[in-house]
Amino acid sequence: MQKTLSVIGLGKLGLGMAACLADKGHYVIGVDIDKKVIDAVNAGESPLYEPVLSDLIERSRGRLIATDDYEKAVKQSSVIFIFVGTPSEQDGGFSTRYIAPVAAEIGKHLKQTADFKVIALRSTILPGTTERVVKPILEETSGKLCGRDFGLCYNPEILALGSVIRDFLNPDVVTIGESDKVSGDMLADIYTATCENNPPIVRTSLTNAEIAKISLNVFLTVKMSFANTIAEICEKVPGGDVDKVSEILGCDRRIGRKFLTGATRYGGPCFPRDTKAFIAFTRQIGCQALLANAADQVNDLQNGRIIETIIQKVGPLKGKQVALLGLTYKPDTDIVLESAALGVTQIFVQEGALLKVFDPAGIENTRQVLPGNSIEYTESIEQCLRDTELCIVLTPWKEFKQLTPQDFIREMKTPVILDCWRLYNNKDFRDGVDYIALGVEGSRPC
Ligand SMILES: NC(=O)c1ccc[n+]([C@@H]2O[C@H](COP(=O)([O-])OP(=O)(O)OC[C@H]3O[C@@H](n4cnc5c(N)ncnc54)[C@H](O)[C@@H]3O)[C@@H](O)[C@H]2O)c1
C-alpha cells in the first residue's frame, strides 16, 4: 500500500532512497537545510553525481517533494527516515551533531500528532547511539514514550556510492533494529513492497543492528587489506599473479570473490572512517580491534607500494612527465576523499614530477583539494597521455579499460604503463608498450 514517508537529509544516500521510494509509488517528503538541494529536487533534477538518480527524480515529480518544513514532514508521514551525515570526531568516533537537532525537530512536531509514527535512523553511528542519544531527545521533546506512542528503529544503509539505486532496490539484507514489533512490521512492509529481490529481512534489537552495520564495513576492509597483502606477495614471488590466487580463494564459498581484487588502498567516505570509528569504539568499551587496526595499517602502506614500484621501474620522479588516469576512489562517483590518487598525486608533486591528471567525474573535486599550478587538469584521456613518459591507472573506470596499446603509443613519449587494477590483457599489451601490472611478478605468461 502506498504511504506518505519522509526522508530527512537529501545527501548522497538519502536522496537516492527518497527517489526510489517515490518511484515505487509512495508520496515522499524530503527534508533538507540546503536550499540548492531543495530547489534542484523540486525542479526534477539531481544536485549530485549518482548513476540513474536523475532519471528517478525526473520520473517521480509530483510524488517526491523537497522542503525545509519539518512540521509538514512529521505530520503527514507514517515513517520518518533520518539520513543526515555523521562526521568523524577527533578520536575517530561519529559525531551526532547533525542527528541531535533533527531528532529534536521531529520530537517537537511529534508532540502535536495523535497517531503512531516510526522514526527510522539510517545514518552510520556507533553502537548505543539510538538508545542513548536519539531516544531521550525524541521522548523529551515530544513528551511521548518510545515503543508506546511512537516507534524507533535503527535501519542501517548498506549500499555503495555509484550503485545507490541498484543496491537500495536489491539489498543482500534488510536490517531492522526495532524498539517494538509494530514499528518493525511497518518498516518490513515498506521494504517487502519496495525491494525487487525479495531479500532476507533480519529483525533485532537497536544495538545488534548498530553493531552489525559497523562490523560489516570493517569486515570488508579486512578483506581488502588481506587481498592487497596477497597482491604484494605475488609481486615478490616469481610467477605470482594475484588474479589467479584470488580466483582460487574466491571459489571457496566460505570466502567469496568480492573485495579480493588486490589493487590500490580502500578510500571514500565510509571504509577508512568506519574502520577508525570501530577501533575508537572498541577502545571505549575495553576490547581490542586487532584485525581492524591491521587493515587500517595495511591500507596506509598501499600508496607507498605504488610509488616504490614506479621508482624501481623509472628511477627518481623529479622532472618526470607523468599521466595519472583516475582520481576518484572508485568508478561511477565523483568522490575523491581518501582515494589512492589523492595520496599518490601529492607524493608526485612533492617529488617534483610534472603531473597531468584525468578522471571522467573527479576533476572538480580534486581541484578543490589540490589547487595550484603543479598539476595539469586535462579534459580527455588523450590530452592527459600526450607527451608523457609514464602512465598510472589508479581507478578502474570503464573508459580506461577500453584503451588499446595504440592509444598509449600514439600519445605518449615513452609508453610505460603501471596498471594498478590489471585492466589490460598482457597478451595485447606486449608490443610497443612497457606494461607493468600491480599484483603480478614480472610478465604474465600469455
Ligand atoms: N556515503 C556512503 O557511501 C554511505 C554509505 C552508507 C551509510 N552512510 C551514512 O549515511 C549518512 C549520510 O551520508 P551521506 O553521504 O548521504 O551524507 P551527505 O553529507 O551527503 O548528506 C547529508 C545531508 O543531510 C543534510 N542535513 C544536515 N543537517 C540537516 C538537518 N538538520 N535537517 C535536514 N537535513 C540536514 C545536508 O544538507 C545533506 O544534504 C552518514 O551517516 C553516512 O556515514 C554513507
Tens-place pLDDT, residues 30-70: 999 999 999 999 999 999 999 999 999 999 999 999 999 99
Q: What's the CA-to-centroid distance between 87 and ligand 1, angstroms?
A: 9
Question: Is the shortest distance between the CB of 175 and ligand 1 below 6 Å?
Answer: no
Segment 242-262 shows an average pLDDT of: 97
How much distance in Å is there from the Cα of 97 to the middle of ligand 1? 12
Instruction: Indicate if ligand 1 lies below 6 Å from the C-beta of 124.
Output: yes
Specify which residues 437 forms β-bridges with.
419
The grid cell for 276 is 577508525
Instruction: Give the 3-state secondary structure of residue 396.
Output: coil
pLDDT(372) > 80: no
Is the shortest distance between the CB of 73 and ligand 1 below 6 Å? no
pLDDT band, very low/low/confident/very high, at 397 (cuts 50, 70, 90): very high
Q: In 3D, which of 98, 96, 172 has the Cα closest to residue 127?
A: 96
Which percentage of the chain shows pLDDT scores above 90?
Answer: 95
For residue range 327-355, list pLDDT tens digits in order. 999 999 999 999 999 999 999 999 999 99
Q: Please say whether the beta carbons of 79 and 118 come within 8 A.
A: yes
Find the mean pLDDT for residues 225-240: 96
- Residues 358-365 have a mean pLDDT of 97
Domains in the chain with CATH codes: 4-204 (3.40.50.720), 228-437 (3.40.50.720)
Active site residue 391: no
Residue 170 has pLDDT above 70, yes or no: yes
Task: Dump the DSSP string for 408-443.
Answer: HHHH-SS-EEEETT--S-TTTSSSSSEEEETTBSS-
The stretch 263-282 carries a mean pLDDT of 97
Atom of ligand 1 nearest to the CA of 105: 31
Report CA(99)–ligand 1 centroid distance (Å): 10
| Averaged pLDDT of the chain | 96
Reported confidence tier of residue 374, pLDDT bands at 50, 70, 90: confident
Q: Report the alpha-carbon distance of residue 243 to residue 251 in Å, rounded.
A: 12
Catalytic residue among 146, 270, 384, 391: 270
In the reported structure, the alpha carbon of residue 85 is separated from the centroid of ligand 1 by a whole-number distance in angstroms of 3
Please say if the pLDDT value at position 71 is more than 80.
Answer: yes
- Mean pLDDT over 2-22 rounds to 96
**C-beta 157 within 6 A of ligand 1:** yes
pLDDT above 90 for 373: no
Distance (Å, whole) CA 129 – CA 102:
14
Ligand 1 neighbour 31 (Cβ under 6 A): yes
- Note the pLDDT of residue 446: 46
Query: What pLDDT shows up at residue 444?
Result: 57
How far away, in angstroms, is 121 Cα from ligand 1 center?
Answer: 11
- When pLDDT is averaged across residues 252-268 and rounded to a whole number, the result is 97
pLDDT of residue 443: 59
| Mutation to probe ligand 1, out of 32, 167, 329 (largest number of atoms < 8 A from CB) | 32
Nearest atom (ligand 1) to Cα of 10: 39
pLDDT at 380 over 50: yes
pLDDT, tens digit, 9 for 90 and up, residues 99-141: 999 999 999 999 999 999 999 999 999 999 999 999 999 999 9
Q: Does ligand 1 have an atom closer than 6 angstroms to the CB of 10?
A: yes
- What values do phi and psi take at 232, rounded to 5? -65, -40
What percent of the chain has pLDDT above 70? Answer: 99
| Lowest pLDDT segment from 200-214, 261-275, 365-379 | 365-379
In this predicted structure, the answer to whether residue 326 has a pLDDT above a threshold of 90 is yes
Residue positions counted in the chain: 446
Overall average pLDDT of the 273-295 stretch: 97
